[in-house]
Structure formats: C-alpha cells, structure tokens
Chain A
Amino acid sequence: MASSQALTTAPQRAFETPETTTSRPPATIGTFRSRLPHHLRSHLNSGREWMQQRAAAPLPSPFPTATALDQLLVGGLPQGQLIELIGRRSSGRFSTILSSLATATSAGEAAAFIDLGDAFDPQLAVAAGVDLERLLWARPGHLKQTLISAEVLLAGGFPLVVIDLGNPPVPGGRGVEASWLRLAKAAQSHQAALLVSSPYRVSGTAAAGVVKADHGRALWSGSTPGPRLLVGLSSHLTLQKMRRQQGNRTEALRLQPPAALIYGTTTPSIGNRSRS
C-alpha cells in the first residue's frame, strides 16, 4: 500500500520539492527504484534524468558537404536529421545542394536527389564534381510523390537524400506538417542526412536546422556600355535555427560559373558559346 502511495504522489512531489533543481533524482523516484528488482532499476528514469541523458548524448557524426553549410552546421549535415535550406531564386541554393551531392558521390557514397522542379543538368553536375553513377535522380510530379519518394529512399539505405522543391509555385504547396515529421523520423531511424531545399519554409517543426540563403548578388566583369561577363555570384548563408546550437550565424557564399560560361572557353557542357 505504501509503495502505491509513493507511486501516485511521485510526479507531484517531483515538481514541488527543492530536489528537482539539483542533479540528484527525486527521493520518490529513488525510493521506488530501490523497491524494484535489481535488473529493472537502470530502466527507470525520471523525465529530468532523461532530458539530461539526451543532452549529454554525443551528436551524430555530420555528413560533410564541403560548402559554407559545413561551417554553419559544425562539420556538415547532421546524420539522422532534416535540414531545410531556404532561399529565393538566384540565392545560391541550387549550387549548395549540387556541391553537397558532388562531395558525397566523389567520396564513394551513394546519394539520392529528388528533383521536383526537374532542374538538374547532368552536364553541369559533372562539372561540379558529381559522380553520376552514384547518384539516383528521381523526378516526381508533385509534393506528395516527393515525400513518398524520400521516405522510400531513406528506407532504402541512402546515406544522403536531397530534396529540391524548385522555385515557386511548388506543385502541391507546402504539404502537411505531419508528412514532414514522418520524413524527419525516417531520417532519424535510418541515420541518413536529409537536406530539403525550398523557396520558403515548408517542414515546420520537423526541421532540426534551417539555413537561409540570402538574395544573391551577381558579379560582372567589365562596365557598361562595354561588354559584360557574368563571373560569379555572391551570397550569404544564415543559420536561422539549429537544435542544440546557437543560431543567427552567417557564412559568405561565393560561387563561380563553370568554365564553359567564361568567354572564349569551349566545352560541350553548355555549348560552344562564341561572341557574335
């Protein structure tokens, strides 16, 4: 009888007594634990102890991307978490995900790219260093297919899954938050890195981290009225949210067009572009 009373009053006392502010477990939990069989004691934790254990648990090893994302996310995309990369058009968002794919595939890892906007250019990807043989390219027609494809690929054991929702209007809108939560859970259970590139926030609370690509600034050579040449794009990546990390950090992103775009060079990736 006494033990049942201790059980029923334990939660109330745990929050009322001063012991809750110390690192020791509340006396009620300790009492109850002492009455349990020996092999069961280690399985019983208070909520506070569970939180402490969770905070002390080591972070999963990150999945490097060799981009400015690595600096913001302390080493790369965290495995088992959903990272959302948002940005308007010409913000460097697509270049960043292409670089992530290039880093992964060139290191011998398999990667999957779900391309809702059908924007992937294999020739350009080769120039960026992507090993096309290791890349699975899926082109869904709308957001629902995108989410299901991502879940299938995560279950298939792909260590890196990248979703690009393209530019607005995104077919299917933002989707249901429960779907994104389910996807984040799938990434967690399979310990895969999941990067979602979107023009605006879509995944809600499912995202462990949110990085925003600021509006990019084109870099031109020459001056008007003379000939001009696009020689790069300058932008910034800002960490807006990251679980267990400090947010609002910014890294510069500087991108150069592929060699084929520079005046006078000729490669088949974009075509023989000669000044007319």
Chain B
Amino acid sequence: MPRIACLFTPLFPLAARLRSEPELRGEAVAIFQGNSNAARVVAAARRARQVGIRTGMSLPQARALLPNLTVRARDMSCEKATQETLLEIAESFSPRVEDAGEGVAYLELDGLDRHFPGDSPEQDLGHALTVTTDKAGLTTWVGIASSKLAARVAAELPASPNLVPAGEEANFLAPLPLRSLAAEVEILETLERWGIRSVGDFARLPKNEVASRLGETGRELHEKARGLDSRPLVPYQPPPHFAEGMELEWPLVNLEPFLFVAGAALKRLCQRLESRGLACARLATSLRLEPDGHHQRTIQLPAPTREAKTLLTLIRLDLEAESPAAPVTGFTIVAHPDRPREAQLSLFGPPALSPDKLATTLARLFALLGPERVGSPHTVNGHRPERSALVEYAPPPPPDVRPERQAGRGLLAIRTLRPPVPLEVISHLASPREILSIISEGSAKRPHIQGRVKVASGPWAMEEEWWSEKPVERDYWDIELVNGGIFRIFYQRSTGEWYADGIYD
C-alpha cells in the first residue's frame, strides 16, 4: 500500500481570505455567505469563536455577540487561487497529487523518504509540508497514512503532522462514527438499521456478505472502513495559467487603491511562478464592474518576467491609457507562464546580461516608451537613408573568450534626420548656393538649418521602386555651409522640393 499524505486547511474560506488580506490576521473576522438576513457565517477566526460565534449563525446573530466583528463575504476567486496554491505546493513534493477540493489535497509519498534521511522521514516530510505552506501564507495540517480516509482523519487532528503507522489504519479508524465514511445516505441508514454505529463495527463485518447485500458501493465502503484504498489517486491536471483574484469590499473608483490590492495579488502570483521555475509571458487582467460587465485587458510582455513591480507598472500604464467605464468590484489577474530566458555564464568571455534582469528592463522600457521604440536595430533592404527597422532584443550569448578589441574604423557617421527637414534652396547653375529650413507648424522642434553654401558636391541620383506608382527619385548633394555644418540634402524630382535628411557628424 502506498503511503499518502493529506494536506488539510482548516476553516478554508477564512484561510483563503487571510491569504489575500494578511493584515486581518489576529482580528475577530468572520466569513459569511448569502445576502442580508439570510447571510450565514461559514468560518470564524479564533477571536470571534472565543465570544461564541459559530459556523451556521446568521450575520445579525454574530454581530449581536460582537458588534465590532470584521466580516467578509466568501470569495470564490480567492478560494480557487488558494486551492491552486495548495496543490502547487503538493506538486513541489510529489508528482502524484489529487485535488480533493476546499483546502484538501492528497499526495503519494512513495520514494520521497530518500529526500528525508533522518530517523523519521515521514515526520520530517510532514514538517517540511507545514513549513512550506506557512511560507505561502496558509495554515495547513498534515496527516500521513496508507489510505486517504485515514490520512484525512489524521490531518484533522491537532498537533500536526499526525502519522498513522502502516497497517494500523483499521484500528485508527475504528472508533470513528459512520458518517466519517462520507457514504450515501441510503447506505448509512441501512447500516444503522443493522445496528452498526462506528467504522470499526462496519469493518468487522465479513466483506463477501457486505458485497452481496450492499453491492459494489458497499464493498468499496467496507474497504475504506478497513483502511484500504482500492482506487489510486486521481491525478491533478494543473491549469495552463496562474490566476489570482479578489472580490472587493466596496467598488473602487480610483486607480491607486486598486493598484494597492492588485500589487499584493501580483506578488502572490509571482511567488507561485517562482516556485514552479516559470515567469509571466502574458498578463491578462479582468476587472468586474458595477453593476455588471467586465473590463478585460491583455498585456504581452517582451520577455518572460516574474518581477511583481514591473508587472504592476505595466498594469498601471495600461489602465491609465484605457480606464474602465465603471467602478471596479473585483478583479482577476491571469499570468500565462513561460520558461524564463536562460544563460550560461562564461569564465573568460565578457559577462552576459542576466536574463531575468533583461526581461525586467525590456518590460519597463516597453511600458515607458512603447514597444515600437525599443528593440534591436535591423537593416532594411533599399536605398532610402532614413529606412530602419526594430526587432526583438535577444542578444546572442557572449563569446567564450573575450576577443581583442578592434581599432576604430574612423568612420564619418551621418546623423539621420527623421523625417527630412524641408528646405528652401537658392540655386545657381543647378547647384545649391544658399539654404534655409522652412518654418512651419512643429518646425520649432526640428533643427534649424540656414546659411550660404561653401562647397557643394553632387548631384548623386538615387532611384527606388521605379516600378511602383510612386517611385522615389532624388538628387543628393553633400554641402558644407559657410557658418559651419556639413549636410546631406536632396532634391525630390516628383515634387520639386528640397529636403535635408542627414548631418555629417
């Protein structure tokens, strides 16, 4: 029989809420479900329980016992994210995990004892599970046994972790009432009619007789009562993305308060990504609006990152650019994961950029400047000097050995003017003699070019796309002005206009 550990989160609705709002820890908090007077308490914190607030009480009853009780509605998006976190933690220990819902997860422990070489590997494993869930903001109890039922019952006992020795499951379960088997009501009623009161009583019945009277369901139930599990764990299929969300206590109309709660959710999201060795490649934000409707945005990141601050900046800039049309009552942030970029460091070559840092840097620059203004320059076929292209910045790994630096080529560079500056040119014998940049709307921000020409060299014909309807036909001149400056200017044959498109610098 494989050994099975059960992770059990007591008061799961409350635990999920406290994970999202850790500042409520230690407060008298109650989680309720339902509306107005029909609202019922589903979980209460210790300080609330101390004054008599119990599960099932109506909200007015609870408030009557403790007027300053902090109440929160049950938040299914919080609980879903918390359950996923619990399963991710279980998966980080064992590849065989079953999702039992509502703060319960099972994991198979076969082969894990070699990772805990102490005197009591299972005890150490149980402690490790408790510590890991604590770090994720969850209080979890652990039970270890050879069957799911025994592990679950052990997990619900105080003083976690609780171990049931192999083969002792039947004895461990024997004193429990029949309802612990979570069987169908009809079977339970039948067993009560037979005078069976406890799991032990049921386990002592002959299995063939039980099977012949209660059928396949009864046989399985009888095996459970004897501490046996005939069915293996149902494998947990993790979702392809990571989600965190929250129902807000009241609708938010300002960006800053929203960013405050979204920042905490992003932090949790990034922790989950980090625990799986993943990073966020695409971020989808869904805001629930009052009274209904959604505002959905998706941000494609230039490179996978798991820095919460950068992701929050991107959300802020995105929401500033396109704000929701109504107050926000809740949100869900979904991170689509991808493998972060990896790099092999070199001992003798130039240092490589850290992939994590590079991803963060690119994301910040994208947020600041826009994706069309950041990247790696790329050459473009053609003849027009102003042509250029940007591609994704993904530098190749540096060479293994640092090459010797080459001497500069002493190249005279040209500062390209984008777009070209329109000019008024006075010519003599088809050669420019004096130039002046044309003043127009917006030209105050462009370089002002004016002066008599000292030397002019040209014209140099340039033709491109002669086959198209609008071919580019230019006559280029290199000119030096008397008052300084060497420019590249051209005459556009199709329009008869002059432009400066470069400065030798």
Using CB atoms and an 8 Å cutoff, list the residues of chain A in contact with chain B. 64-67, 88-95, 98-99, 102-103, 106-110, 117-129, 132-141, 145, 148-149, 152-153, 155-159, 166-169, 171, 215-216, 218, 220, 224, 227-230, 232-233, 254-258, 261, 268, 270-276
Contacts and interface: CB of A to CB of B under 8 A. Distances in A.
A266 to B, nearest CB: 10
A156 B353 CA distance: 8
Contact of B365 (A133, A152, A215): A152
A87 B380 CA distance: 30
B351 interface: yes
A128 B378 contact: no
Contact of A127 (B364, B377, B385, B411): B411
B377 A122 contact: yes
Interface in B449-494: 455-457, 459-464, 475-476, 478, 480, 484-486
Given A94-B503, A94-B505, A171-B445, 17 more contacts: A90-B484, A92-B412, A95-B505, A107-B404, A107-B405, A121-B416, A145-B368, A156-B361, A157-B361, A167-B415, A220-B455, A224-B455, A230-B486, A255-B410, A268-B381, A268-B383, A276-B461
Interface in B323-351: 349-351
B415 A156 contact: no
Choose among B381, B480, B484, B505 the residue with the greatest number of A CB atoms under 10 Å from its CB. B505
Contacts of A218: 455, 480, 486, 504
Given A138-B369, A152-B368, A157-B354, A123 B379 contact: yes
Given A169-B445, A255-B410, A125 B505 contact: no
A261 B418 CA distance: 20
B302 to A, nearest CB: 11
Given A98-B411, A132-B379, A138-B373, A91 B461 contact: no
A164 to B, nearest CB: 9
B389 interface: yes
Contact of B374 (A137, A168, A171, A273): A137
Given A107-B403, A119-B415, A124-B413, A145 B369 contact: yes
A103 B408 contact: yes
Given A90-B503, A275-B460, A137 B376 contact: yes
Contact of B349 (A108, A127, A274): A108
A134 B381 CA distance: 20
Contacts of A270: 383, 385
B179 interface: no
A99 B357 contact: no
Given A120-B388, A218-B504, A90 B485 contact: yes
Size category, B interface: 35 or more
B99 to A, nearest CB: 40
Contacts of A65: 408
A273 B476 contact: yes
A134 to B, nearest CB: 5
B504 A257 contact: yes
B11 to A, nearest CB: 43
B383 A133 contact: no
Q: Top 6 nearest A-B pairs by Cβ distance? A: A271-B383, A156-B361, A94-B505, A255-B412, A273-B460, A66-B408
Nearest to B360: A156
